[in-house]
Amino acid sequence: MSESDSSPGPDIGQIVLVRKGREYGQLAVIIQVLDERFVLIADGEKRKFDRPKKKNIQHLERYNYISPEVRNSIKDTGRVSNNKLRMALWKFAQEVLEVPKKGDGLLDGER
C-alpha cells in the first residue's frame, strides 16, 4: 500500500502518514512540493490550508493514493478548502484503510 523507495517523488493531493515529529501517526495531504526534499502538508483540521506544515519527505510514509478533488482544486484555483482536505482524508480512511464505522462491532467493544 505504501510506496517503495524507487517510486517517483511526492505529488500534490497525495495522502501521507507522518512518521516523525509532533504530528506522528496522523494522516495529511501534500498541498505543495517545495523541492526534492520538502513538502507542505495540511489536514484541514489542526493544520489548515493557510498554515501548512513543512515536512521532510523522509519523515513521511507516502501512500499510493492521490485525492483527485484536492489535486484538481489546487491546480484550478491554487488553493483547496479545509473541508475538502478533511473529506479526502475521511474518504481515504474509509475506502483504503477500511477503518471500521460506528456500529460495525469493533468500536462497540466486540473483537
pLDDT in tens, 31-73: 999 999 999 999 999 999 999 999 999 999 999 999 999 999 9
Residue 102 counted as domain residue? yes
pLDDT in tens, 10-35: 999 999 999 999 999 999 999 999 99
Position 51 scores a pLDDT of: 97
Residue 88 counted as domain residue? yes
Residue whose C-alpha cell is 495522502: 15
Residue 6 counted as domain residue? no
Residue 19 counted as domain residue? yes
Give the residue numbers spanning the domain of 55.
14-108
Residue 52 maps to which CATH number? 2.30.30.140
Residue 32, judged by CB atoms within 10 A of its CB (0-12, 13-18, 19+), counts as middle
- Number of structural domains found in the chain: 1
Task: Flag whether pLDDT at 5 surpasses 50.
Answer: no
Residue 73 counted as domain residue? yes
Residue 71 counted as domain residue? yes
Residue 27 counted as domain residue? yes
Residue 38, judged by CB atoms within 10 A of its CB (0-12, 13-18, 19+), counts as middle
Residue 4 counted as domain residue? no
